[in-house]
Structure 1
Amino acid sequence: MDLPSIYQAILGWPCYAKFMVVPNYAYLKLKLPGPRGVIAVSGDLQQAHSYEEESLNIAMATSQALELQSIWATMIETAPKSSRRKQSAGAFKPTNDTNVVRIDLEDDIFAWKPSDMLGILRQVAEHSLDILPGAKPVKQCLYRFDDKRRKAIGEEITRLLATGFIKEVFHSEWIANPVQVQKKNGASRMCIDYTNLNKACPKVPYPLP
């Protein structure tokens, strides 16, 4: 199988016959004759189960990645030639061969709330912070908020914890405070003060909010 796996080797019946191996699946043991007597190889059920689960995750991630590549290749092949021309930002204008696609809002293809976004496997995509070498971690002092803002921040944190977007971390090297930012419509939005962390990372077009 042309598929990544965590196993270093997979032994089949031809190997068993060649080395005269006697397997015992109930006790997870292999016995075979050696130069100085019988050689016994023992396994661990819990470790084997964890390996099997990890191999399944890798296989699923690889399958999803291949499926996405196939969909992307199909989209490129079926796309109109005019849409393949490189255009500058803000130049997206409908052309004569533009197709209008109608979407039913009742279809289960949109994420209307955070719990609808189930995420992807880490084997497919994983984000990491490219912190500059020699940067010292900064632990911000605790911000004080009034009762109204503290209640709003608490509700937002509870919602993010329930959906699995965040998790509690102990002994963190970097500590940043939540802040309340007012929108144009008067509502407030919770953000994180990543000022110190942004200074410790290289300049990129998309800084942390």
Structure 2
Amino acid sequence: MVLNPIEYNDPSPSPNFEFHVFEAEEESGVEVSDELSRLLEQDEKTIQPFEEQVELVNLGSEDDVKEVKIGSRLYMPGLDSEIVEHRLSLKPECPPVKQKLRRTHPDMAVKIKEEVRKQIDIGFLVTAEYPQWVANIVPVLTKDGKVHMCVDYRDLNKASP
């Protein structure tokens, strides 16, 4: 028998199904496991969106820009340095590295000294007597002429797992 493609792709179902369809009946007296009950109850719960209080901060306008620093000890003088102590795990086969001092432009050196003095005065930086690791400062000049102090930690990063 050769099927005509039009008849074969007919979207209307024929009443003669090859497989019988049975209706499921509910069984009484069947125990449902605790795990299945918990999953069914969990499925019925609706998920609510997370809501939290939002604090609005006025950042000024284009004419009157306000500077906001978040997470900086420079602007949190009451923060005690004894609260947190950080330690790095190092690979035992990596010896400590003391980077050689890099030369800086004299104008930049003055700005670096000012920034370092400012950070020492507020207690953000302290002098290390016998440091095992020494990393160079990488000064980054901002658009407004200030200096951001970054540190070249490439050697230290190689030594940490």
Using structure 1 for the length normalisation, give the TM-score. 0.42
Q: Identity of counterpart residues, as a percentage?
A: 30
State the AA in 2 paired with 1:142.
Answer: L
2:133 aligned residue (126, 151, 174): 174
The Cα shift of 1:138 comes to: 0.4
How many residues align structurally?
A: 104
2:121 aligned residue (162, 178, 184): 162
In structure 2, C-alpha distance between the alignment counterparts of 1:121 and 1:168, rounded to whole Å: 15
The 8 Å contact of residues 115 and 163 in structure 1, kept in 2 or not, is answered as no
Structure 1: gaps of 5 or more residues:
1-79, 84-96, 203-209
Partner of 1:73: none
Mark the structure with the bigger radius of gyration.
2
In structure 2, C-alpha distance between the alignment counterparts of 1:176 and 1:120, rounded to whole Å: 25
1:143 aligned residue (102, 117, 137): 102
The 8 Å contact of residues 139 and 174 in structure 1, kept in 2 or not, is answered as yes
The Cα shift of 1:132 comes to: 1.7
Cα separation, partners in 2 of 1:145 and 1:114, compared to 1, 3 Å: same
Bigger helix share = 1
State the AA in 1 paired with 2:49.
Answer: S
Partner of 1:153: 112
Secondary structure of 1:118's counterpart equals: coil
In structure 1, C-alpha distance between the alignment counterparts of 2:58 and 2:153, rounded to whole Å: 38
The 8 Å contact of residues 138 and 175 in structure 1, kept in 2 or not, is answered as yes
Name the Cα RMSD after superposition.
Answer: 3.1
- Counterparts of 1:1-80 in structure 2, within 5 Å, are none
State the AA in 2 paired with 1:162.
Answer: D
Partner of 2:23: none
The 8 Å contact of residues 73 and 124 in structure 2, kept in 1 or not, is answered as no
Bigger strand share = 1
Per-residue CA deviation, residues 49-105 of structure 1 (Å, 9 max, x unaligned), is xxxxxxxxxxxxxxxxxxxxxxxxxxxxxxx9411xxxxxxxxxxxxx676544589
Tell which has more relative contact order, 1 or 2 (C-alpha 8 A, sep 6+): 2
Per-residue CA deviation, residues 110-153 of structure 1 (Å, 9 max, x unaligned), is 7787142433464x532111222221000111111121111111
